[in-house]
Structure 1
């Protein structure tokens, strides 16, 4: 009986640590709640809200940090044109933000995509954000049973949700360190 209680306590402690991780990265409440809510959605298998929350957290953290680099104070208004894009990532890179943490695991040409203006190929994070946050889930439609049996359920985004969670952890940790040292 006491073993079961110890297991439950250990699970609750781990969940609490995971949830608090984002709040402890020096990003501010206007940013860390996107990541916390993304994590909570992921734990409840709400994969679409998890994905969009992680993407919005990444975008908000980039926009706010870039704004504070230009004017070191509390941000009360963001430029509506500074959305998540290769251009914003490039500007962050030129300001020494740890943008390599935003690369997807197999995206070996990440820097080349945002540094080479002539290519006009979005980094994977930007491509996914543009599609998913504008309602385009077509690439996640499951066709394993053939075209006549194609279907979509939120579980089709499960792998993406876990990838975005890992990217978010890596990004927020690296960005928090940058902010502590530079802002």
Structure 2
């Protein structure tokens, strides 16, 4: 009887150990499977996010390019430059301003901030064309805005082609920046002088 009891106890102990090992192995397997599922879901979510950002980037870049192309065509049109040569007040400024607002709105959706910052250099110079221009004539203003539009277009096309680095700032843009900064500094000095005279 004792031998039978011992055999039964050993059998029961073996069954309990076997069941415990099976339960433990099942839990470990489930944890591994859950971890793999979580990693797969995270990877898929990241891929989806990257695809959405890429689509947003392409749409924003294309929208900005479309506005720049339309603005360039308008500025090249026969009724802008000849009229600008006569130094008349023009509605081209309003048209250009409208296109530039839309360009800024579009590029603000580009995830790559270095592209945004590089385009904003020429966009801001386009807006401050009077101080950035080499001469105070509408003809020169139109020419300056056209050159800034060409630079912005080149930067965005470079980005659209997938080039990692934006083109460097060309000399004519750097010159316009310098003129705009000098004009701003001169204006600050004039305001400071007027304020000193009033006090």
- TM tier, shorter chain? 0.3 to 0.5
Q: Provide the TM-score with structure 1 as the length reference.
A: 0.35
Q: Provide the TM-score with structure 2 as the length reference.
A: 0.33
Q: Select the structure that is richer in helix.
A: 2
Higher relative contact order (CA closer than 8 Å, sequence separation 6+): 1
